[in-house]
């Protein structure tokens, strides 16, 4: 059960994730009933209520991973509610594919989170695994079939000249000689 700063349950506990996320955001912003938290406001996930409604030991049986994870930080889910706020954990947008998992780019086949549109407006819980299994298999089979019909061209470094021409056409001056394939995530820090 989700509880706002005034102790009110503000939505049905079995709503879909998109409805829950929108409800939490609305409570914390438009309605101003969020609980002050680091970096903004949140709402309470009333985990002790699970034990009250379903009996002692329910959290231990049904949510053992969460129980252990929060226990590492000194929080007992059976006795203390936790602050929650929605965050992006799955992207519903992405690359458009056809029924063979092919894209508009020749020889590029895609599956998983990079794909857009196969879930419609709202991905339901558990569909990601099915999506990966079905479209991963289709993409793999399609790519394998296509590889048998594809003739590889002669390997050259002409892509470097093409990159330089694109930079010049865009008016960009740089000392880079090729596109960045593996970006650095050091943000200026020295890495050992």
Residues marked as catalytic: 17
Dihedral of CA 41/76/70/22: which sign? negative
The phi, psi pair for 33, rounded to 5°, reads: -110, 25
Residue 129 and residue 167 in contact, taking contact as beta carbons nearer than 8 Å: no
Q: How far apart are CA 90 and CA 119, in angstroms?
A: 12
Dihedral of CA 98/103/107/108: which sign? negative
Classified as helix, coil or strand, 139 is helix
Cα separations in angstroms, 49 against 16, 42, 56, 70, 100: 20, 18, 10, 17, 47
Cα separations in angstroms, 44 against 84, 118, 173, 191: 6, 33, 52, 39
Residue 59 and residue 79 in contact, taking contact as beta carbons nearer than 8 Å: no
């Amino acid at each position: 059960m989700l509880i706002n700063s005034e102790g009110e349950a503000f939505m049905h506990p079995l709503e879909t994730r998109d409805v829950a996320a929108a409800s939490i955001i609305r409570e914390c912003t438009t309605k101003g009933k969020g609980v002050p938290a680091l970096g903004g406001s949140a709402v309470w996930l009333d985990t002790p209520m699970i034990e009250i409604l379903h009996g002692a030991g329910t959290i231990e049986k049904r949510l053992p991973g969460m129980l252990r994870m929060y226990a590492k930080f000194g929080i007992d889910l059976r006795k203390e509610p936790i602050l929650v706020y929605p965050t992006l954990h799955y992207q519903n947008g992405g690359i458009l594919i056809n029924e063979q998992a092919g894209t508009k780019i020749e020889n590029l086949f895609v599956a998983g989170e990079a794909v857009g549109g196969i879930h419609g407006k709202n991905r339901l819980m558990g569909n990601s695994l099915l999506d990966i299994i079905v479209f991963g298999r289709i993409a793999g089979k399609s790519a394998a079939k296509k590889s048998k019909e594809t003739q590889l061209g002669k390997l050259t470094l002409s892509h470097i000249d093409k990159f330089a021409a694109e930079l010049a056409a865009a008016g960009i001056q740089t000392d880079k000689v090729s596109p960045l394939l593996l970006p650095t995530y050091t943000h200026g820090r020295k890495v050992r």
